[in-house]
């Protein structure tokens, strides 16, 4: 394990009598999905590079309950929430960074009423503040020279919580051209995964939402579609495949882009 | 004298009938469940000023926003002239404000005239936009029939209204210049109103005194009759938004849009399950209203909150929500505008039924199934595009979510794949079938 891939768990830290600065809430996708695990690792490398003292919950982490809630099962959501809050409060967690806008939204907005009060940020917000504080140097390098990048706003980060600028400011640090889609920020079109759609076939229609969104992205002829959500990443990757554009367009999380630009 | 009596009776009928219908709507809205929107008064006033008064979200589409602004400002300012008409009607005077206000009166009426011309033009464009240009949001399934007629009717009424204003002012101008008007003669030759001083002589210049008087009276009575018609049409129309836009934006949801409410009934049960000391047979506290067994989620309009119901009456049927909806854009059945229209139509039907047949009446119908289908509900991605785009801060998503909750928690009607996902969460703490022990495997993987 290289130094950059050091990942202590809360249990390990507590056993050593240490207290982390921040808890990294990995999320189900970031833990189990092969593509999303790469995003998780990029976030870890950035945290280690900046010497942020963090920990993960590992096996003690469990689904926030977001997909159950959006699928209409409030019982399962609240049971999950209560269990997670018990664990988090048990470790006296104060600050959380999530790798997923759904976890971010749920823990930031829906947990407080159930007894879980934390300062929750999305990974783009944390990384942006690390860059701003000068803790992370992004040289830019040549990797992205001449590349066009467009950012797809995750609904639960953008419209859901009004975070539009952090990911864009991060991208502006890259030596690349940032282009906006016709429908961006508050007008951004969903990737099609939210509201538990990720886990089911779509209703009858004439197109898949992710294909529609990929077409919108293709209008600005990007080399890279930047994402901030593992589910958007899956949906947009599938959309690009559906359009036979794998060789022209890559779908990459902003955290991965920054990690690459910082030579991590 | 007779005309004063006729006028007074019309006035009473006009406002009385309006008040009665508004009260019906109020009763209907209060059928909804409670939700607390009494906090943050300052913030709420600000939201109302920006969104309703300031038309902020309208300006995301500048062309309709400017056209609408003409109608909106014309309407608000014309109320001054309406006050005078009422005063004249009740006193038998003519242009009672004129002498007292002097030059300011000329200015105000001129301003109204200019705005009325703008409104007239805007209304024509609106009519063309609805009927000639094939704008998709005005031509979807739910807009067939009454909603389409309603949309055109309002615009035609607006045209007639403005026409009457110019008949009234134009003919009066010609009469006044000949010293024949009933208005107090202030020794000048013209009222000097911006538009009618030209339009009047041009249109009615050659007419005899008696014809002029008839034209003027038709304009005057026509105007006030149209106002009463319009007023009483409001409660039956999407046009009610001109009033409800204000309270509806005042009572907006001020929390982040991504936040969904935590159901209180479930909170209680979950607490009981998690707390080993809790007494499951405890008697509910006295005066605890939630002790009444409520459905989980929403099957019919009374299961929604009063704000959802207020939303439904406020909806302008503009279709901005639907044209931004990813499900609708990709050909799915779901249309958030239809959700709002269905809610209102069902509420009207249910309210009417209860008024006619007593409060225990059940017509065997419900919002779910008879109006909104499961297929529509399951197509939503909860993306909030509809909420974001609504110019009057309506929230179709919360209705969709509450109906999903009913389907899932009361009827266990959930698409198969979602049932699998939910049981995965229950059993292994993730929406997929992975073992919780493997959560940290990525740490070791290359
Ligand atoms: C108080 C005076 C108002 C008047 C006389 C008025 C009049 C109208 C009329 C005539 C239309 C139909 C336009 C068409 O055919 O498309 C309309 C539509 C509409 N009004 Fe108003 N309105 C008023 C206030 C408001 C307020 C306060 C709001 C809040 C933002 C509002 C929001 C809308 C919206 C969203 C539409 C649909 C527009 C579209 O299709 O793009 N109105 N209004
Ligand atoms: S929240 Fe649902 S109804 Fe509203 S725009 Fe998104 S998919 Fe459509
Ligand atoms: S809900 Fe709002 S956006 Fe949708 S049709 Fe009604 S007024 Fe327009």
CA distance B416 to B438: 26
Please judge whether B434 and A32 are an interchain contact, meaning their C-beta atoms are less than 8 angstroms apart: yes
Q: What is the pLDDT of residue B79?
A: 86
Identical fold at A3-130 and A138-261? yes
C-beta of residue B252 within 8 angstroms of C-beta of residue B305: no
pLDDT digits (tens, 9 = 90+) for B217-236: 999 999 999 999 999 999 99
Could you tell me if A264 lies within 8 Å of chain B, comparing CB atoms?
A: no
H or E element that contains B248: helix B241-250
Which pLDDT band holds residue B185 (cuts at 50, 70, 90)?
confident
Question: Interhelix angle for A34-49 vs A230-242, to 10°?
Answer: 130
| Cα A1 to chain centroid, rounded | 24
Q: What is the pLDDT of residues B102-160, one digit of tens each?
A: 889 999 999 999 999 999 999 999 999 999 988 888 888 899 999 999 999 999 999 99
Mean pLDDT for chain B overall: 92
The ligand 2 atom at the shortest distance from the C-alpha of residue B379 is 7
What's the pLDDT score for residue B293?
Answer: 65
Expressed in angstroms and rounded, the spacing between residue B346 Cα and the centre of ligand 3 is 17
Q: Is the dihedral of CA B301, B307, B310, B316 positive or negative?
A: negative
A213 touching B (Cβ < 8 Å):
yes
Q: Which residues of B touch A70 (CB under 8 A)?
A: 260, 382, 401
Domain ranges of chain A: 3-130, 138-261
The closest-lying atom of ligand 2 relative to the alpha carbon of residue B339 is 3
Topology at the third CATH level for domain A138-261:
Rossmann fold (3.40.50)
Fold of the domain built from segment(s) A3-130: Rossmann fold (3.40.50)
> From B334, which residue of chain A is nearest by alpha-carbon distance?
A203
For B272, nearest residue in chain A (alpha carbons):
A79
C-beta atoms of B332 and A41 within 8 A:
no
Q: Residue A79 and residue B327: Cβ atoms within 8 Å?
A: no
Tell me the pLDDT of chain A averaged across its residues.
Answer: 95
Tokens of B40: 């943050």
Q: Quick one: pLDDT band at residue A221, thresholds 50, 70, 90?
A: very high
Pick the residue whose CA is nearest to atom 8 on ligand 2: B325
Mean pLDDT over residues B382-404, rounded? 97
pLDDT confidence of residue A1: 46
Show the tokens assigned to B347.
């509420």
Residues B179-195, mean pLDDT to the nearest whole number: 86
Percent pLDDT > 90 in chain B is: 79
Q: Average pLDDT in the B356-383 region?
A: 95
State the average pLDDT over residues B240-245.
Answer: 96
A79 at the B interface (CB within 8 A)?
A: yes
CA B159 – CA B126 distance, rounded (Å):
11
pLDDT at residue A152, as a whole number: 98
Could you tell me the two tokens for B75?
């309407």
Give Cα B285 distance to the centre of its chain.
39
| Cβ pairs A/B, distance under 8 A | 211
- Search chain B and give the residue with CA nearest A200: B417
Flag if B329 and A212 touch (Cβ within 8 Å): yes
List chain A residues with CB under 8 Å of B405. 72-74
Question: What pLDDT is stored for residue A3 in this prediction?
Answer: 82
Indicate the pTM of the whole model: 0.93
B/e letters for B8-31, b = 16+ CB within 10 Å, e = fewer, are: eeeeeebeeebeebeeebeebbeb
Task: Give the lowest-confidence range in B126-140, B237-251, B375-389.
Answer: B126-140
C-alpha span between A132 and B118 (Å, rounded): 51
pLDDT tens-digit readout, A100-126: 999 999 999 999 999 999 999 999 999
The mean pLDDT of A135-164, rounded to a whole number, is 91
């Amino acid at each position: 394990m290289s130094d950059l891939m050091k990942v202590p768990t809360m249990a390990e830290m507590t056993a050593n009598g240490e207290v982390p600065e921040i808890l990294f809430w990995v999320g189900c996708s970031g833990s189990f999905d092969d593509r999303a695990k790469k995003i998780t690792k990029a976030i870890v490398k950035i945290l280690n590079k900046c010497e942020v003292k963090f920990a993960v919950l590992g096996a003690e982490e469990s689904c926030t309950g977001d997909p159950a809630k959006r699928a209409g099962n409030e019982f399962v959501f609240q049971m999950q929430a209560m269990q997670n809050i018990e664990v988090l409060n048990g470790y006296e967690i104060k600050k959380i960074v999530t790798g997923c806008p759904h976890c971010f939204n749920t823990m930031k907005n829906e947990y407080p009423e159930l007894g879980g009060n934390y300062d929750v940020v999305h990974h783009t917000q944390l990384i942006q503040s690390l860059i701003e504080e000068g803790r992370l140097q992004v040289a830019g390098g040549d990797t992205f020279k001449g590349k066009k990048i467009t950012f797809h706003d995750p609904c639960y980060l953008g419209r859901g919580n009004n975070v539009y600028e952090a990911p864009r400011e991060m991208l502006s640090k890259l030596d690349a051209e940032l282009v906006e889609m016709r429908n961006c920020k508050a007008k951004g079109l969903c990737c099609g995964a939210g509201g538990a759609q990720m886990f089911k076939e779509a209703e009858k229609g004439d197109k898949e939402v992710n294909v529609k969104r990929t077409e919108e992205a293709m209008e600005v002829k990007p080399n890279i579609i930047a994402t901030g959500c593992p589910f958007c990443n899956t949906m947009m990757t599938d959309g690009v495949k559906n359009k036979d554009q794998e060789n022209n367009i890559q779908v990459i999380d902003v955290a991965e882009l920054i990690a690459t630009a910082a030579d991590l | 004298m007779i005309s004063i009596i006729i006028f007074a009776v019309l006035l009473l009928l006009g406002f009385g009938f309006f008040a009665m219908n508004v009260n019906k709507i109020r009763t209907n809205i209060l059928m909804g469940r409670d939700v607390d929107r009494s906090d943050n008064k300052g913030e709420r006033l600000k939201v109302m000023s920006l969104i309703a008064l300031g038309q902020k979200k309208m300006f995301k589409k500048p062309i309709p926003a400017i056209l609408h602004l003409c109608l909106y400002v014309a309407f608000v300012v014309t109320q001054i002239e309406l006050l005078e008409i009422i005063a004249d009607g009740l006193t038998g005077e003519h242009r009672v404000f004129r002498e007292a206000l002097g030059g300011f009166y000329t200015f105000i009426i001129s301003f109204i005239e200019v705005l009325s011309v703008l409104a007239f033009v805007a209304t024509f464009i609106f009519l063309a936009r609805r009927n000639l240009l094939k704008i998709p949001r005005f031509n979807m399934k739910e807009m067939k029939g009454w909603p389409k007629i309603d949309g055109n009717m309002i615009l035609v009424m607006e045209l007639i209204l403005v026409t009457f204003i110019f008949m009234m002012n134009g003919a009066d101008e010609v009469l006044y210049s000949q010293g024949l008007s009933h208005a107090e003669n202030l020794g000048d030759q013209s009222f000097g109103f911006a538009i009618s001083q030209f339009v009047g002589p041009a249109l009615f210049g050659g007419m005899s005194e008696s014809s002029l008087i008839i034209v003027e009276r038709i304009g005057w009575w026509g105007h006030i009759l149209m106002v009463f018609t319009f007023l009483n049409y409001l409660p039956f129309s999407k046009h009610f938004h001109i009033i409800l836009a204000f309270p509806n934006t005042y009572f907006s949801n001020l929390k982040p849009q991504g936040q969904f409410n935590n159901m209180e009934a479930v909170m209680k049960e979950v607490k009981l399950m998690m707390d080993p000391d809790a007494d499951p047979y405890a008697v509910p506290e006295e005066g605890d209203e939630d002790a009444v067994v409520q459905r989980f989620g929403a099957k019919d309009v009374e299961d929604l909150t009063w704000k959802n119901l207020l939303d439904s009456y406020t909806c302008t049927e503009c279709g901005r929500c639907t044209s931004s909806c990813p499900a609708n854009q990709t050909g799915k059945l779901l249309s958030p505008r239809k959700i709002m229209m269905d809610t209102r139509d069902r509420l009207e039907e249910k309210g009417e039924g209860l008024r006619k047949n007593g409060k225990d009446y059940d017509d065997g119908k419900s919002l779910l199934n008879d109006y909104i289908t499961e297929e529509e509900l399951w197509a939503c991605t909860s993306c909030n595009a509809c909420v974001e785009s609504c110019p009057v801060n309506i929230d179709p998503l919360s209705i969709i979510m509450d109906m999903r909750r009913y389907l899932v928690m009361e009827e266990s009607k959930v698409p198969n794949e979602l049932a699998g996902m939910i049981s995965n969460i229950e059993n292994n703490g993730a929406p997929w079938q992975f073992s919780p022990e493997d959560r940290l495997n990525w740490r070791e993987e290359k």
